[in-house]
Amino acid sequence: MNIAEQEMENYSRVKNADYTREADVYDSKRFASDLGRFYVDLTNAILYDLLQVRKEEKILDLATGTGRVAVGLAERGVSISGVDLTWKMLQRAKEKVEERKLKNVSFHVANALHLPYKDNTFDKIVSIRFFHILPFVMQKAIVREVARVLKPGGFFVAEFNSPFAGLFLWAARRDHQVIWPRQIKALFNEMIVVKKVGIMLPGVGRVARMSRKAGERLGRSLTFFPFNHLSNQILIVAKNPASVASHASAGL
C-alpha cells in the first residue's frame, strides 16, 4: 500500500467513526425542518426524472447513509441496492425500509474505494451528499472504482457543492468542499460528462414555503446554464465510455 492509499484508508476510518457517532441524529439535524424535507423530496424527484430506470436495470446508491435516496427511489418503484461504510447509518436505513414495508431495496456495508462487486455490474450509480466531504485524490480513486463496476454505456450521477452558489459565498466557506469546472474535467476525464443539473437554487425554498408544487416545479427545471451552476448543489451526470454506445446522447 502506497502513502496515498494509506492516507485514504485512514481518512475512511476517521469518517466511519464520525458517522457512527452521528447516525442517531443525522437525519434530525439536517432534514427534519420543512426546508430539509423539501430538499430530500426534491433531490429524489430529480434523480427519478434523470435515471428513467427500466425494470431490468441494476441501480446502486453509493454512500447511501441513512437511505434517504435509496428509500425515496424504492418508494417510486425503483429496485435499488445501497452501500455505506458505516454500519450504524445502515441500521437506520433498514429501519426506514421496515417502517415502509419495502421489498425492492437492500443495504450492505462497503467501502467506496473497494466495492464488493464484479466489473460491469450496474447500469446506473448515484451518490448524494458524499463527494463534498472527500479530498480530491480520494474522489478520483472512487470515480475510478465506480467506472469499474459500472457497465459500458452506464451512467453515474454524483452530487457536489457548487462554488457559484450565492455568488461565490460557498466557495469562500472553509466548511464546504466545492467543485470547480476544471476539477470536474479532471475528475471525470475517463468518462463523458453529459449533463449538469442544479439542486436548490437560492430562493427555491422560499417559493416552496408559499407553494410546494411551484417550488418543486422550479427546482426540477434547473438543467441549463447558468442556473444549474448557481444552485447550491450540482449533479454531474457522467457516462461510462462504450465502444458501441453513442457518446453524443445526453439522455439516460
Of 79, 39, 76, which is closest to residue 220 (Cα–Cα)? 39
Q: Give the global pTM.
A: 0.91
Grid cell digits, residue 238: 457522467
Kindly state the greatest CA–CA separation across the chain.
54
Phi-psi region of 80 (alpha: psi -120 to 50; beta: other; left: phi over 0): beta
Count of H helices and E strands in the chain? 11, 7
Domain ranges of the chain: 3-239
Superfamily of domain 3-239: Vaccinia Virus protein VP39 (3.40.50.150)
Tell me the average pLDDT of the chain.
Answer: 91
Q: Count Cβ neighbours within 10 Å for each residue of 158-171 and write b for 16 or more, e otherwise.
A: bbbbbbbbeeeebe
* In the chain, % of residues over pLDDT 90: 83
Q: Lowest mean pLDDT of 68-82, 121-135, 172-186, name the range.
A: 172-186
pLDDT per position as a tens digit, 57-67: 999 999 999 99
Residue 24 has what pLDDT?
Answer: 95
Q: Name 82's bridge partners.
A: 61, 107
Measure Cα distances from 226 to 81, 142, 223 in Å.
33, 28, 9
Residue 173 has what pLDDT?
Answer: 54
Residue 252 has what pLDDT?
Answer: 64
